[in-house]
A and B are shown apart, each in its own frame.
Chain A
Amino acid sequence: MSVPRARLLDLMKAQCQVFATTFNPEGIRMGNKVLRQRLKGPALAAYYPRKLASIKDVKREFGPVLATWDDAEEDRFEYIEE
């Protein structure tokens, strides 16, 4: 029992409509595989850890409102005093 080609093509067409792919029975190269690829830029750009807020930034931002201490800065002052 053979199925006519036209009927198979109709089936393929319906398949393409349902799964939102391009109908291309001859297998012509349309470059759709490029469009199907996922963008890898965000993953690559997130490789190195980004700079977080430092104590200096917090001090500059909140100034007189928030009192905190900076160990490295205090060490530096001690070193200068010696």
Chain B
Amino acid sequence: MSMFRAKKLDLGCFVKARTIRDHTKRKVFEEHEAERQALRYVIRNTTLPPRTRATAQLQLSQMHCYTRPTQIRNRCIMGGQGRGVLRAFKMTRFNFRMEAMAGNLPGVKRASW
């Protein structure tokens, strides 16, 4: 959503609309994480009155969808793809292969035995 998006582009990697969106979601989640955890604590605490817990449930479910961690998806920093991304290298498998064969990834070498 546009109200969360940074006014000036603050990404140094491959940029496309989905990358910007994902980055925005990450920042919004970071901002609201403490609030979400507090609500989750209230909901899970059985010693609190049921009414408080119910209102906390409502509040949590009515928070903006960008504050949810499940909205975040790792994307390739070289090409912006959302599938087949290697977590350790933040790259798609093809980009990873290209970079590894060019020798840009320290410690990565072709398997041979």
The answer to whether A and B interact is yes
B41 adjacent to A51 (CB under 8 Å): no
Q: C-beta contact mask, A1-36 vs B, less than 8 Å → 1, else 0?
A: 000000000000000000000000000111111110
Residues of B within 8 A of A45 (CB): 26-27, 29-30
User: What does DSSP make chain B's interface, helix, strand, loop or mixed?
Assistant: helix
A30 adjacent to B23 (CB under 8 Å): no
B9 adjacent to A51 (CB under 8 Å): yes
B37 lies within 8 A of chain A by Cβ: yes
User: What does DSSP make chain A's interface, helix, strand, loop or mixed?
Assistant: loop
Closest partner residue, chain A, to B23 (CB atom): A48
A50 adjacent to B12 (CB under 8 Å): yes
Closest partner residue, chain A, to B72 (CB atom): A44
* Pair count A-B, CB < 8 A: 70
Residues of B within 8 A of A52 (CB): 12
B37 adjacent to A35 (CB under 8 Å): yes
Closest partner residue, chain B, to A51 (CB atom): B12
B92 lies within 8 A of chain A by Cβ: no
A44 → B minimal CB distance (Å):
5
B44 lies within 8 A of chain A by Cβ: yes
A29 adjacent to B46 (CB under 8 Å): yes
B91 lies within 8 A of chain A by Cβ: no
Residues of B within 8 A of A39 (CB): 33-34, 37
A residues 44-76 near B (Cβ < 8 Å) are 44-45, 47-52
Q: Ordered nearest first, which 5 A-B pairs have the shortest CB separation? A: A41-B30, A31-B44, A31-B45, A41-B33, A45-B30
Binding site for A on B (CB under 8 A): 9-13, 19, 22-23, 26-27, 29-31, 33-34, 37, 40-47, 69, 72, 74-75, 77, 90
Binding site for B on A (CB under 8 A): 28-35, 37, 39-42, 44-45, 47-52
